[in-house]
Amino acid sequence: MKKRKMYIRMITASLLRRRTRMIIALLAITIGAMILSGLVTIYIDVPRQMGAQFRNYGANMIFTSAEGDISPEDVRTAVSVIPSEKLVGLAPYRYETVRINDRPVMAAATDMEGAKAASPFWAVDGEWPEEGGQIMIGKNVAATYNLKPGKKMTCSYLPEQEDVMDNYMDFTVTGILDTGGKEEDYVYMSFEDMEELTGESTAYDICELSVSAAADELETISQTINSSAPSLTARLIKRVTQSETTVLSKLQALVLLVTVVVLALTMICVGTTMTAVVAERRKEIGLRKALGAGNASIVGEFMGEGMILGAAGGLLGSVFGFIFAQSVSMNVFNSSIILMPWLVPVTIAASILVTGLACLIPIKSATKVDPALVLKGE
């Protein structure tokens, strides 16, 4: 009991007396630990955060149906398979041919909020439609009919039964859509307007989904949907999913490699600092040996000191590391990082290990000193 008390007292006293020195060593360890925990956090979180960026490419899954129509209920059942935090956007579409100035134009009914989320790359000159009677038109349509946001236009729909009259409806153009794709040839309206125009209840033709998940996870999701909702077929948009996997894996490999390189270098830095700290205490070691201390007790004391430093540095480092990772995430992705509590003990353990290893070599050589020579000052 007494022995342990003495041991603890020696270690703490030695740390306190040599305050400046120890603060320097602590600083080195803290920085090392901070880089470790910060970069590992970023490494683990990058696929999630970057994955969200890749959702800019738009939908990566579509629902189609063999029968032609998809009912909203089916979509709801199918979507319930996808974890809600992974579903970035869901845009159902229904396509009908309508006439503008008696010329056929493809009209799409959609949920505007859903379309905005599922296709973030759509550039709208003007505003998105917000209420009934408003319409968004593709760039090519606008050029053909010389329409600008704010102008009024009339759409007509010719029902299939020959004896029914054409149905006319007035719209206000709110925005012009520029995508560089074939969306530029369509006009977009709400489901309510489409229902009024066509006089038919709305079912969906196709559903676009933007799901934030890796390719194999998407594969599992689409299989689950296909087996649980047989009325519709979930298909992956290969071009988007496969390319995302390719790019994302490269990016993660880059961060990993950088983490490893930075980590190796900081560990060496911590090592050299600890070596310097121990090496300058040869005199003290000599004195203790002269007083009759065994090698084991000297090693024990130094290791104890080193480990306390390591633990303190590890703890501080994981706090700063999290702050660092958080600020990177806020700056780059505008979203906060996920706190990983298991990283704290791992960081502390790693920094104790590194400090211990770094102390071991100089202590070993220090125990070999001849007390007489050291104390004499040679």
Residues 190-249 interacting with another protein (rule: CB under 8 A): 235-240, 242-243, 246-247
The C-alpha atoms of residue 352 and residue 58 are separated, in whole angstroms, by 46
Which residue number, 151 or 235, has a Cβ lying nearer to another protein? 235
One-letter-per-residue 3-state SS of 90-122: EEEEEEEEEEECCEEEEEEEECHHHHHHHCCCC
DSSP symbol at 213: S
Q: Is 339 in the site for another protein (CB under 8 A)?
A: no
The C-alpha atoms of residue 254 and residue 268 are separated, in whole angstroms, by 21
Cβ 119 vs Cβ 243: under 8 Å: no
Residues 122-181 that bind another protein (CB under 8 A): 122-123, 140, 143-144, 178-181
Least Cβ distance, residue 239 to another protein (angstroms): 5
The C-alpha atoms of residue 99 and residue 104 are separated, in whole angstroms, by 4
Which residue number, 125 or 200, has a Cβ lying nearer to another protein? 125
Q: Is 364 in the site for another protein (CB under 8 A)?
A: no
Residues 39-58 that bind another protein (CB under 8 A): 39, 42, 46, 50, 53-54, 56-58
Strand segments, DSSP code E, in the chain are 61-64, 87-100, 103-110, 123-126, 134-138, 152-157, 167-178, 186-189, 206-211, 233-236
Binding residue for another protein, selected from 6, 268, 323, 349, defined by CB under 8 A: 268
Binding residue for another protein, selected from 81, 158, 214, 251, defined by CB under 8 A: 251
Residues in Cβ contact with 157 at an 8 Å cutoff, skipping those fewer than 6 apart:
96, 98, 99, 166, 167, 169, 197, 198, 199
Q: Is 95 in the site for another protein (CB under 8 A)?
A: no
Binding residue for another protein, selected from 64, 79, 128, 184, defined by CB under 8 A: 184
Q: Is 28 in the site for another protein (CB under 8 A)?
A: yes
86-94, 226-234, 256-264, 289-297 -> range binding another protein (CB under 8 A) = 256-264
Three-state secondary structure call for residue 179? coil
The C-alpha atoms of residue 273 and residue 87 are separated, in whole angstroms, by 49
Q: Is 80 in the site for another protein (CB under 8 A)?
A: no
Least Cβ distance, residue 101 to another protein (angstroms): 13
Q: Is 324 in the site for another protein (CB under 8 A)?
A: yes
Residue with tokens 């203790």: 288
Least Cβ distance, residue 255 to another protein (angstroms): 7
Which residue number, 8 or 258, has a Cβ lying nearer to another protein? 258
- Token representation of residue 183: 């969306």
DSSP symbol at 292: T
Binding residue for another protein, selected from 117, 203, 328, 369, defined by CB under 8 A: 328
Which residue number, 64 or 297, has a Cβ lying nearer to another protein? 64
Which residue number, 269 or 357, has a Cβ lying nearer to another protein? 269
- Taken in order 271, 273, 276, 278, the sign of the CA dihedral is negative
Least Cβ distance, residue 146 to another protein (angstroms): 11
Cα 107 to the center of its chain, rounded Å: 36
Residues 274-293 that bind another protein (CB under 8 A): 275-277, 280
Cα 99 to the center of its chain, rounded Å: 45
Q: Is 322 in the site for another protein (CB under 8 A)?
A: no
- Token representation of residue 157: 């729909």
Binding residue for another protein, selected from 253, 290, 349, 361, defined by CB under 8 A: 253
Which residue number, 6 or 323, has a Cβ lying nearer to another protein? 323
The C-alpha atoms of residue 202 and residue 70 are separated, in whole angstroms, by 9
Least Cβ distance, residue 8 to another protein (angstroms): 26
Which residue number, 4 or 250, has a Cβ lying nearer to another protein? 250
